[in-house]
Amino acid sequence: MFILNFIPTWFFFSLVVISTIVFFITKFFSTFIPYAKLVNYFSILIFSLGLFLTGVNWNNDYWLEKLRIETIKVEQAVKNQEQINKELEIERNEKLTNINKRLNESKNLIVNL
């Protein structure tokens, strides 16, 4: 998710922790806090949202790490392929020169007959 790249990871954990603290404060000290039930329900909603976004963030980081690993593998494979292509080019050129040399020798033999 694109927006998760701009929000730090600690923000979601802090949402969960703060909403848990607010929940218990409003649960046990409801007589001193006006609108305690409303704040209590709202803290449950924020807790659920924070927990969900923590999981989403973890999942996003997991897949980004897998993507980074696969990108490194692809880059390494490209480097290996370039090296193999150079070796094959050298081998192909050697074989072509041998074929051309044999062709010239065969032509000389035919001409000399």
pLDDT value of residue 103: 92
pLDDT value of residue 88: 96
pLDDT value of residue 15: 92
* Domain ranges, ordered by start, for the chain: 3-112
Distance CA 26, CA 40 (A): 6
What's the whole-model pTM score? 0.65
Query: Shortest CA distance to 23 belongs to which of 52, 47, 7?
Result: 47
Query: Shortest CA distance to 12 belongs to which of 49, 47, 52, 54?
Result: 54
Q: Residue ranges of the chain with pLDDT lower than 70?
A: 1
Distance CA 107, CA 89 (A): 26
| Long-range Cβ contacts of 21-26 (<8 Å, 24+ apart) | 22/46, 23/47
